[in-house]
Structure 1
Amino acid sequence: MKLIGMLDSPYVRRVAISLQLLGLRFEHQSLSVFRAFPQFQQINPVVKAPTLVCDDGEILMDSTLILEYAQALASSRTLMPAEPPELQHDLRVIGLALAACEKAIQIVYERSLRPPEKLHEPWLERVTGQLLAAFGALEEELFKRPLAVTSATITQAGVTTAVAWHFAQQELPEVVPAANHPHLVAFSVRAEALPQFSAAPYGDGIYRPRDG
């Protein structure tokens, strides 16, 4: 399998980390949907990151759908709880983390793709409120019910929460103050120290497995 997309995308990064945790081997090609649009288009005409090129050449996209397929391939590990109460809670946490990713990216795009004089402040204010609400709810969830954070026990809820928080702190630290989210900060520090996270560092580099 080959994962296409840059690790500065929280969606690409959650896939890269999850594939490792599931014990699935893959290659990674770091392509920007902006700077490498024609090259990306040759692989996937929709130009959506992440893109997964399966072993038979079929193309999958959307991180959640890719991870559903990856989970079906994995034989010895699951990142989703089997019991309904635990599954329900993890799906809530994942939903909050994905909402935070979506709103953070909307702010980044609004700032970086529009000229300053074209920024729509009412829209930015609304999206910022949604972003802060998502991280506020995640902070509360971690306070009430801490997430596992070892390579053997972390679930998709933990992966997605850690990736979302790290992305926001890299791109929008002034919008999402770390001082207001101590439980997320502590969780992120522990998650980022895991080998599966450090092998897929945030940025424009490529995934590098520990064994080579």
Structure 2
Amino acid sequence: MSLAPLSLPQLRNSHWLDSAKRLVPGLLLCAAIAWLASTLAALPWFGSHGLSALTLAIVIGMLVGNTVYGWVQAPAAAGVGLSKQQLLRLGIILYGLRLTFQDIAAVGASGVLIDALMLSSTFVLAQWLGQRWLGLDARTSMLVGAGSAICGAAAVLATAPVAKARADDVAVAIATVVVFGTVGTFLYPVLY
């Protein structure tokens, strides 16, 4: 057995393999939840009750997170972390790229103006209510406002570095946005 030091290409390959081994269990768990949610959403009963793949993925994720995730957290944490941070952001970017200038033109200037007013008024209202009525600090209310106005937890995660938010600010904002978003996900189809 040779005790010679590893060459740079060997170190790179070894590091890459170690990283892949750490990420695969969590990525597989997230992929399994996404697959199950998509499969269930394709069934007529779920579609007729307004339950999309996103809604089902939230429910499945909550069930897994509160039941079996504790048993698989150690091997899955790195892959789940990658999924909820980088892959979620990438998915939002790719989804946004589907929007074309023709789509924007089809909505018209009034549609764009209404969207801009809704987004900005939701953000400002969350800031004002959060700081004046609920006593939240500026960072937390900014994160809650971004999450409520834009697209939920992913917007909170994307805004956190800009707001120089602490981990507890991010946790409060994500919990707030996810709880109210989840309630709305189930309430809106019923109201419709």
| Coarse TM-score class (shorter-chain normalised) | 0.3 to 0.5
Which has a greater percent of helix?
Answer: 2
- Hey, which of these two has a bigger chunk of strand by percent? 1
The structure with higher relative contact order (CA 8 Å, sep 6+) is: 1
- TM (norm. structure 2) is 0.33
Instruction: Answer with 1 or 2: which has the greater Rg.
Output: 2
Provide the TM-score with structure 1 as the length reference: 0.30
